[in-house]
Amino acid sequence: MGSANHLDFLLYGAFPYIAMVLLLVVTIQRYRQRAYTYSTLSSQFLENRQHFWGSVPFHYGILFVLLGHFVAFLVPRSILWWNSHPARLYILEITALIGGLLSLIGFVSLVLRRGSNNRLRAVTTPSDWILSVMLLVQIATGLGVAVFYGWGSSWFASTLAPYLWSLVKLNPDVAAVVPMPWLVKAHILGAFALVAFFPFTRLVHILVIPNMYLWRRTQVVRWYGTNQGRVEHRKRSAQDQQQR
């Protein structure tokens, strides 16, 4: 086995497991020792307008793209069946490209927002900037693959899905990845690098989504922004207490 083959196996056969071990071990350790850090540390209160126009397209775009990857991984034959009709193939490819563009536009807006606002820069950590660069590279390489190597949904389902399943079965088969273009390889490595870096970032808040909000009773929140509103609120409160 040549040095190139050794390197390929290290990058695509061993590194994915290293990333998964880091994800599991560090995530659990961090939660046990510093559970309070499982938070987005949201900056929405510091600036909301640009946050909205960056966060919404980014989250909708990235969630759609990730869902597409996940479906192609779980049911690759169904994806190939869907793509057997040219019109459906075009619909899937164009929709995925739009999702990627939304992710890029939204994320660039969020990075510019954080870099141009003094209050936001003050609460931004080095890991935030590293994560921003990694996400930007990952989105850019994904869009590059979509633009320069068309019909990605089909060759993902036929080539990369078996490779990912070989990792799940603890029998990594890197033969399918080795002949891939460098842009595809960079996208794969970037994905596993994000998995490895995940437990060191604020992205861990994904693991503690407040699911109770899905079934709790709705709350009515009233904002009394004027003195007259506050006076009326006090009168109503006093009347309620007297009736009780």
The CATH number covering residue 120 comes to 1.20.950.20
Q: Is 71 helix (H, G, I), strand (E, B) or coil?
A: helix
Q: Residue 25's CB: how many other CB atoms inside 10 A?
A: 11
What DSSP line would sit under 124-189, residue for residue?
A: --HHHHHHHHHHHHHHHHHHHHHHHS--HHHHIIIIIHHHHHHHHTT---GGGTTTS-HHHHHHHH
The confidence score (pLDDT) of residue 48 equals 72
Residue tagged 């880091």 (tokens): 22
| In-domain check, residue 201 | yes
What DSSP line would sit under 204-225, residue for residue?
A: GGGGG--GGGGTSPP-------
Q: Which of 94, 96, 99 is nearest to 60 (CA)?
A: 99
- State which H helix or E strand residue 234 sits in: helix 227-243
| In-domain check, residue 243 | no
The confidence score (pLDDT) of residue 140 equals 96
Which tokens in the block code for residue 121?
A: 């820069």
Handedness of CA 164, 170, 176, 179 (dihedral sign): positive
| In-domain check, residue 139 | yes
pTM over 0.75: yes
| In-domain check, residue 182 | yes
Residue tagged 């969020």 (tokens): 110
The count of structural domains within the chain is: 1
The confidence score (pLDDT) of residue 63 equals 94
Burial of 8 (C-beta count, 10 Å sphere; 0-12/13-18/19+): middle
The confidence score (pLDDT) of residue 51 equals 84
The confidence score (pLDDT) of residue 190 equals 97
**Structural domain range at position 34:** 3-214
Sequence letter at residue 102: L
Burial of 99 (C-beta count, 10 Å sphere; 0-12/13-18/19+): buried
In the chain the first and final C-alpha atoms are separated, in Å, by 84
Q: Residue 103's CB: how many other CB atoms inside 10 A?
A: 25
Burial of 46 (C-beta count, 10 Å sphere; 0-12/13-18/19+): middle
Q: Is 28 helix (H, G, I), strand (E, B) or coil?
A: helix
| In-domain check, residue 189 | yes
The confidence score (pLDDT) of residue 34 equals 82
Over the chain (244 residues), the average pLDDT of each successive run of 10 is: 73 96 93 77 72 91 95 95 94 95 96 88 89 96 93 92 95 92 95 95 78 60 57 65 63
| In-domain check, residue 163 | yes
| In-domain check, residue 50 | yes
| In-domain check, residue 151 | yes
